[in-house]
Amino acid sequence: MVGIRKRKDFFEDFGSELFDNLEEMIEALLEEMGESVPFVYGFSIIHRPGEDPELREFGNVPEYPQKEENFFPSETKEPLIDIFENEDMVHVLAEFPEIEKEDLRLHATAQHLEIKVLGFSEYTEDVDLPVRVDPGSAKASYKNGVLEVTFRRCSEESPVEIEIN
């Protein structure tokens, strides 16, 4: 007979401080929010050679611990953002489900991308780029809730507005 594996056993296998309080945090959030309010929470870990790993959280759940009596997640969801780079290009991918292309505004400098969401609940995401890019070379597309912005590596300084195709 196969026994049921408890969640605690799963997290103990990692042996990392990152997961030490994860189960406790999730249970506390579920208890505080009840079952009537949906929420989104996730994280990505970015590890570049020669640098410490970077943990990036996303979702509509406030930072833990949260001890307010009327706890509800924000209606604004933080997007999942991934940055990929190669010798010549930098690619930024961001998920914005249920957002129309017309409600997105992009501005870039050599080391920074600003993504603004207009409409019912305005939102701004500031993305630090891992290397210097040419903002004038930016190409952006938005399809099925995924924004893709591509830059050529360079050393340009002035901000540039980017048109979404």
Give pLDDT tens digits along the chain (165 positions).
Answer: 455 555 555 545 555 555 666 777 777 777 766 665 566 777 778 777 888 888 777 776 655 554 554 444 455 567 788 999 988 999 999 998 888 899 999 999 999 999 998 887 788 889 999 999 999 999 999 999 999 999 999 854 567 788 888
> Amino acid identity of 47?
H
Q: Quote the pLDDT of residue 74.
A: 52
Inter-residue long-range contacts of 78-87, CB under 8 Å, 24+ positions, other chains counted: 78/125, 79/115, 79/125, 80/42, 80/44, 81/56, 81/125, 81/127, 82/44, 83/46, 83/127, 83/129, 83/130, 85/130, 85/131, 87/153
User: Residue 45: beta bridge partners?
Assistant: 55
Q: Quote the pLDDT of residue 33.
A: 65
How many Å apart are CA 137 and CA 129, to the nearest integer? 14
The domains of the chain, with CATH numbers, are: 1-78 (no CATH), 79-165 (2.60.40.790)
Q: Quote the pLDDT of residue 71.
A: 47
Q: Is the pTM of this model over 0.75?
A: no
Strands in 10-88 per DSSP E? 41-46, 54-59, 81-85
Contact 21, 29 (CB under 8 A): no
Q: Quote the pLDDT of residue 62.
A: 58
